Structure 1
């Protein structure tokens, strides 16, 4: 069973997303998911999907054997998905939520390989390149364009182009939304970023 948490201070957003999740989940078998409001349950490690104001985190829990210890330890990996729906109609938003629920029911290893994107209708050309991901994480860590260009050995214009391309692929309106998203992913402590664009 998927545990889905909607975390937002905006009550209208929270209720609207909860309603859309319920609508999207009707195509799934009954009892496959549970929607929990953040006000009744704080965001916990048990959540499979967490909807936030401009993004969604999909968590995968798996047991891995640690080298030398021989015992299985729980391991958490996450995908972060920008969730900007400006200009989308209700069926399009419901379709995005359905894709997210499908992604959450698969395993994390299947999304490490780009060949599996077609299974959920994701477009490979809309995903961030490795350089765009690096630039996004560096922006989230607080570096400015000049520092990033020096660290990557690229011109400031090239770094700005990578930022612009990442903003476009993620469907964000401006650099403020991009910075909020990037700072969350950087703070989360994931070196790869693991951003998935719908």
Structure 2
């Protein structure tokens, strides 16, 4: 019987996940966490076969939480379950130690299958993502500009590319405008860019945003 922890700041999503998993006889309970800090605390208190983790949490970036969970327990199975397309975060999540990446648009049966697979030590990614990952691994070691960014810088870059202002990003992530501005400047310096429009052009060209 599998014990699951789901970390997501949306109560409706957590309820939906709990309902889907509770219909499977081999899932014995789903514990919920609304923030990254709560997820780390819950994971420290008890063993979970799988932790379902969103990328966007109100207090911390999901990738930061993933690293904290892995430091706490290197063998912890974490499956990223996010609204963000695979192209945006899947490779980063897998490199950070996630066992798989699934979008919230996936069918309920796919979620159950993914949970079972990663609980047994396997990895779960879509066929399309497997092809992208193979292409990524076949490339030489020269990193693309966006791969030079920290997780937070990358998140800010994507949100700016998606049309959000610094103030809007600060509100959404619960961070100060100064922090977001600093990450924006660092991202621009690392990517040798000067304007927000360059973020947008690059992200669209590389398929990071639609």
More helix by share: 2
Q: What's the TM-score, normalizing by structure 1?
A: 0.44
- TM-score, structure 2 as length reference: 0.42
Greater RCO, 1 or 2 (C-alpha within 8 Å, sep 6+): 1
